[in-house]
Amino acid sequence: LVRAHQDADLFADPLRLLSGPEQDVTVRELLAGQLDLEKEGLAHVRWPDELRSCLTTRGFADEVRAVLARSRELGLGPDALAAFARRTG
């Protein structure tokens, strides 16, 4: 399905699911990168000040990963999560 709708060269290698530890590393890298994007003025999302120091901690990354996994189980995509974030602040 992905190959049918995207540039085939991007998916020359077969897709695979990430293991739990690989997911942990990916989430931690994304959260840490958020701080860099904020410094450069390129961030699309600004984390609340009280959470910004948590972005590089393992525990926070674990919580974010758990929320994302639960969201997928419930069939909630990025748009639904963004709408929830706007409603709740």
Task: Report the mean per-residue pLDDT for the chain.
Answer: 87
pLDDT at 29 over 70: yes
Q: Tokens 């969201």 label which residue?
A: 71
Distances (CA, A) of 58 to 11, 74, 88: 30, 24, 25
Alpha carbon 1 to its chain's center = 22
Mean pLDDT of 1-23: 77
Model confidence at 18: pLDDT above 80: yes
Domain positions in the chain are 20-88
Q: Considering only CA atoms, which of 24, 2, 22 is closest in space to residue 12?
A: 2
